[in-house]
Amino acid sequence: ARKQAAPEMPEHATAEVKNIIAIASGKGGVGKSTVTANLAVMLASAGYRVGILDSDIYGPSQPKMFGTEGFVPEVHMRNGKEVMAPAENYGVKVMSIGYFIKPEDALVWRGPMATNALRQLIHQTEWGKLDWLLVDLPPGTGDVHLTILKELKVDGAVIITTPQQVSVADALRAVGMFGGKGIEIPVIGIVENMAWFTPQELPCNRYYIFGSGGGRALAEKVNVDFLGEIPIMMSVMQGGEEGRPDSLVSGFSEPYYREIMEKIVK
């Protein structure tokens, strides 16, 4: 009997993904996941098909940021291969290491266990057709990063830093990770998060709580684009807590994320 032409599952989970962008930071807590979530919803509202691969084994925050905690990826067979469908909210497909581990266990995930779980996410997630896949990397530079960057065909990297010197110094190391140890991934640019704070009572004042200009100076130093800055905003923090990225609702944060998104797209 002749074989029936069935819709084929592409060999690689990301075969139908046009652009894979890694979002990295040197230090933790600088807002890498928040920026990733907001850029994703901005891309989705611009009409792109978007996914997030949350590979931050030390603190996977995308399940909370997208209100998809408790999602259990179901394994099913496709063309003899085990695959898992991602969660979806606000038009963004989300797959996270957080769907597989309890947050309190995240810190004990080391070495082979984490690497194996990440491999599964990388190779078995059923993304389908996407224009953009944003990869929320763990902070820092290490073996886990090398695994991800070697097994995923990453097209470019965006580095998040605060203006503070300790963050900028670590961001410089993150830049280095994309061009070394057998990895050649272009850095698209630098984003400076938590750039300043403006109190409601003094709308014309900018307080540079973590210093100023660190992100732009780093971009100049390593000769990549400066993609933009995002101030400290309570609504941005709250959006993360409430499981709805702030740029979807707030007229305050949206323009900052939009500017960055437009630079990445072009």
Q: Which residues bind ligand ADP (CB under 6 A)?
A: 25, 28-34, 61, 139, 193-194, 230, 232-233, 236-237, 240
Which CB, 124 or 235, lies closer to ligand ADP? 235
Which CB, 83 or 121, lies closer to ligand ADP? 121
Which CB, 15 or 237, lies closer to ligand ADP? 237
| C-beta separation of 131 from 180 below 8 A | no
Q: At its nearest, how many Å lie between ligand ADP and the CB of residue 234?
A: 7
3-state secondary structure at position 21: strand
Q: At its nearest, how many Å lie between ligand ADP and the CB of residue 88?
A: 21
Amino acid identity of residue 217, one-letter, is A
Q: At its nearest, how many Å lie between ligand ADP and the CB of residue 230?
A: 5
Measured between alpha carbons, how far is 144 from 85 in angstroms, rounded to an integer? 23
Q: At its nearest, how many Å lie between ligand ADP and the CB of residue 241?
A: 7
Which CB, 51 or 139, lies closer to ligand ADP? 139
Q: Which two tokens stand for residue 221?
A: 């130093």
Measured between alpha carbons, how far is 14 from 21 in angstroms, rounded to an integer? 12
Measured between alpha carbons, how far is 7 from 4 in angstroms, rounded to an integer? 10
Q: At its nearest, how many Å lie between ligand ADP and the CB of residue 135?
A: 13
**DSSP letters of 66-108?**
TT-TT--PPEEEETTEEEEPPEEETTEEEEEGGGTS-GGGGGG
Which CB, 61 or 115, lies closer to ligand ADP? 61
